[in-house]
């Protein structure tokens, strides 16, 4: 049982220490992670005041670094790892599709593993679906090489020449962690890819972001090093082979930790309709995606901590317990009656590769549940049989999704008892007077490469790598001038916009705009947004740290709300 350190920082997921041999590098990682998580927390508390009503100032969500949590109450929130929307829309569990078809279980399992039915029909050949909140009709999403694995758990499957499963990799590691780790030491990322996936053949060139026109690595101006490609050949798709594929961290566009923080913070607002119905609450509050196993349940669980269904119960302010993260729970090997050929307990084939089975907090209290980040299910070669020779409730394992159905995912909430109650608000609606909403800031070179790199997907929808970026604030040094950057924003207003960063010592020159289409990280579906080209100059004595950003068009009212932690000013 590992105990967390007591210094005031955001601990890495599961308190993962990836530089045990290099304390200085681990310290750099800790500082970078704390900066990023602080930014995500501030973004979650701010909410969306730009173009929605009743969706801002989520002050019943708190920052655990600035709050005494010694009296905090842990609240494990769990949901099944198998994609709930597959069963909802195509399995006859309440949702509708345009053809009214109901697919058999084998097809749902095949879709979860491969993106195709047992007869080879991809998502692009399946009927469209209807959103129960908005009644909008659309193709099945999220898009991407394994976008449909959208319960904050993704997997890749390795099979032998006979089609038997020999190894399954399950991961719930968030992309922000790996982007942060890459910023500290790309060589460490390479070493961890090799050891975690068991593939020593991976080389650095496989992981870097390439300029799609020049065919050479893109330099990230934040670090001066080659940029990371989060959808590289070893972390793309549900199939793992000796030459490509694997599941290192999450890639489905909604599967981010920043999004999870935003969902939890948005869910702290009590709504007039109550919280007895998870999906109705989600539709009212407009957080997350309906019909997932995760989002409706997470939102309801958080909301019931803040506003207990029993009026005599105590209300709580809420946060994601430190270390914030998404965690795999151990499969129910006995309850689901796993049976092996030689009577070896199937649990012996489950290996925690990253993360921990148990964790204590900084005060020594056991934290609830498991803190598994990456696990494999694999029969040792000397056994002379495969995963496909194991049965679950008498059925041979033909799909990794059968295993996913036997375990849960978890976030750990923390509640602080309050003497009063949170103010209730009506449902979220579109604002009558909109402000331009800053969405995401990029260095221009990274933006150009990501948005110029197409992402093939089985939904047959045009996608680009921008949807797999993160909301980690790009860095600009003190004394740098005319640094070319791109700020994406909601399409609100006409004329030449004014872009400004809060604080002093940072000036901005607008140079142009275009419309681009992508899924802003955390979103299920892509859409058109403005891409504002700017040049950023930072004074030599500009204060260090995070800067929020505002956008205004001629004639728009003030005051404007800044999007927190869009830019990171660092020392030269």
**Which among 544, 99, 33, 121 has a CA at the least distance from the CA of 322?**
33
pLDDT range class, residue 373, cuts 50, 70, 90: very high
pLDDT of residue 480: 98
pLDDT of residue 430: 87
Are 476 and 352 part of one and the same domain?
A: no
Are 417 and 484 part of one and the same domain?
A: no
Are 400 and 465 part of one and the same domain?
A: no
Element (H, E) at 89: helix 84-90
Q: Determine the Cα–Cα distance for residues 143 and 104; give it in Å rounded to an integer.
A: 22
> Which DSSP string corresponds to 304-327?
HHHS-SSTTSPEEEEEEPSSP--E
What are the residues whose beta carbons fall under 8 Å from the beta carbon of 123, sequence distance 6 or more?
111, 115, 116, 139, 140, 148, 458, 459, 460
Beta bridge partners of 262: none
Asked if the model's pLDDT at residue 372 lies above 60, the reply is: yes
Cis before 323 (ω within 30): yes
Q: Are strands 165-171 and 154-159 parallel, antiparallel or unpaired?
A: antiparallel
Are 400 and 524 part of one and the same domain?
A: no
* DSSP reduced 3-state for 486: strand
Asked if the model's pLDDT at residue 3 lies above 70, the reply is: no
Cis before 559 (ω within 30): yes
In a domain? residue 282: yes
In a domain? residue 430: no
pLDDT range class, residue 199, cuts 50, 70, 90: very high
Asked if the model's pLDDT at residue 54 lies above 70, the reply is: yes
Q: Are strands 338-339 and 391-392 parallel, antiparallel or unpaired?
A: antiparallel
In a domain? residue 140: yes
pLDDT of residue 328: 99
In a domain? residue 115: yes
Cα–Cα distances in angstroms (integers) from residue 346 to residues 170, 350, 383, 570, in the given order: 16, 7, 12, 50
In a domain? residue 357: yes
Task: Give per-residue pLDDT as tens, 453-500.
Answer: 999 999 999 999 999 999 999 999 999 999 999 999 998 888 899 999
pLDDT of residue 485: 98
Asked if the model's pLDDT at residue 550 lies above 60, the reply is: yes
Task: Give per-residue pLDDT as tens, 76-92.
Answer: 999 999 999 999 999 99
Are 443 and 412 part of one and the same domain?
A: no
> Which DSSP string corresponds to 110-171?
HHHHHSB-TT--BGGGSPPEE-TTT--EE-SS--STTTT--SS-EEEEEE-TTS-EEEEEEE
- Rounded to the nearest 5°, which phi and psi values hold at 192? -75, -35
Task: Give per-residue pLDDT as tens, 290-321.
Answer: 999 999 999 999 999 999 999 899 999 999 99
Q: Are 438 and 551 in contact (CB under 8 A)?
A: yes
Instruction: Give the other-Cβ count within 10 Å of 2's Cβ.
Output: 12
Please name the residue that has the structure tokens 């990501």: 450
Are 475 and 405 part of one and the same domain?
A: no
Are 227 and 259 part of one and the same domain?
A: yes
Average pLDDT of the chain is 96
In a domain? residue 431: no
The domain in which residue 494 lies consists of 438-570
Are 373 and 464 part of one and the same domain?
A: no
- Among residues 370, 389, 423, which one ends one of the domains? 423
Maximum Cα–Cα distance across the chain: 75
Are 199 and 309 part of one and the same domain?
A: yes
Q: Does this model's pTM top 0.95?
A: yes
**Which among 249, 285, 247 has a CA at the least distance from the CA of 269?**
285
Structural domains counted in the chain: 2
Mean pLDDT, residues 406-421: 97
In a domain? residue 432: no
Asked if the model's pLDDT at residue 556 lies above 90, the reply is: no
Are 177 and 269 part of one and the same domain?
A: yes
pLDDT of residue 5: 47
Are 342 and 487 part of one and the same domain?
A: no
In a domain? residue 433: no
- Among residues 391, 423, 455, which one ends one of the domains? 423
Are 115 and 228 part of one and the same domain?
A: yes
Beta bridge partners of 533: 486, 512
Q: Could you tell me the end-to-end alpha-carbon distance of the chain, in angstroms, rounded to an integer?
A: 41
- Among residues 362, 390, 423, which one ends one of the domains? 423
Tokens of 468: 């797999």
């Amino acid at each position: 049982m590992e105990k967390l350190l007591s210094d005031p920082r955001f601990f890495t997921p599961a308190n993962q220490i990836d530089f045990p041999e290099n304390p200085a590098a681990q310290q750099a990682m800790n500082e970078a992670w704390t900066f990023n998580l602080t930014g995500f927390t501030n973004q979650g508390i701010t909410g969306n005041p730009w173009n929605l009503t009743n969706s801002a100032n989520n002050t019943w969500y708190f920052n655990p670094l600035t709050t005494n949590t010694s009296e905090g109450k842990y609240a494990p929130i769990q949901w099944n790892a198998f994609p709930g929307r597959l069963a909802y829309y195509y399995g006859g569990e309440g949702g509708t599709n345009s053809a009214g078809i109901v697919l058999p279980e084998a097809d749902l399992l095949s879709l979860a593993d491969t993106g195709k039915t047992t007869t080879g029909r991809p998502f692009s050949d399946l009927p469209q679906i209807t959103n129960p909140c908005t009644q909008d009709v659309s193709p099945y999403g999220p898009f991407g090489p394994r976008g449909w694995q959208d319960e904050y758990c993704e997997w890749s499957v390795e099979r032998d020449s006979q089609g038997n499963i020999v190894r399954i990799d399950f991961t719930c590691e968030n992309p922000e962690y790996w982007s942060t780790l890459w910023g500290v030491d790309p060589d460490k990322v390479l070493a961890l890819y090799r050891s975690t996936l068991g593939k020593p053949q991976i080389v650095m060139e496989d992981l870097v972001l390439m300029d799609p026109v020049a065919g050479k690595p893109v330099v990230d101006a934040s670090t001066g090093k080659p940029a990371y490609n989060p959808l590289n050949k070893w972390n793309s798709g549900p199939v793992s082979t000796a030459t490509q594929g694997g599941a290192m961290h999450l890639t489905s566009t909604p599967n981010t930790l920043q999004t999870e923080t935003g969902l939890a913070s948005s869910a702290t607002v009590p709504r007039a309709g109550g919280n007895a119905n998870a999906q109705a609450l989600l539709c009212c509050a407009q957080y997350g995606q309906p019909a997932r196993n995760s989002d409706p349940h997470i939102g309801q669980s958080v909301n019931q901590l803040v506003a207990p269904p029993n009026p005599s119960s105590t209300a709580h302010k809420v946060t994601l317990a430190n270390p914030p993260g998404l965690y795999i729970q151990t499969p129910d090997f006995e309850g689901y009656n796993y049976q092996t050929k030689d009577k070896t307990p199937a649990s012996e084939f489950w290996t925690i590769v990253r993360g921990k089975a148990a964790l204590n907090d900084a005060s020594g209290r056991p934290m609830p549940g498991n803190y598994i980040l990456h696990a494999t299910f694999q029969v040792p070669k000397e056994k002379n049989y495969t995963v496909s020779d194991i049965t679950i409730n008498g059925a041979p394992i033909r799909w990794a999704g059968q295993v996913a159905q036997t375990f849960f995912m978890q976030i750990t909430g923390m509640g602080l008892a309050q003497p009063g109650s949170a103010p209730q608000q009506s449902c979220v609606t579109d604002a009558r007077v909109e402000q331009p909403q800053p969405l995401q800031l990029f260095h221009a070179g990274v933006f150009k490469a990501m948005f110029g790199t197409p992402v093939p997907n089985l939904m047959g929808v045009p996608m680009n790598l921008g949807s797999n970026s993160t909301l980690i604030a790009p860095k600009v040094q003190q004394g740098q001038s005319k640094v070319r950057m791109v700020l994406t924003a909601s399409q609100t207003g006409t004329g030449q916009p004014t872009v400004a960063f809060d604080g002093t010592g940072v000036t901005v020159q607008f140079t142009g705009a275009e419309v681009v289409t992508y899924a802003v990280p955390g979103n299920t579906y892509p859409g058109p947004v403005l891409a504002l080209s700017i040049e950023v100059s930072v004074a030599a004595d500009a204060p260090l740290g995070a800067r929020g950003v505002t956008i205004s068009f001629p004639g728009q009212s003030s005051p404007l709300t800044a999007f927190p932690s869009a830019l990171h000013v660092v020392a030269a």
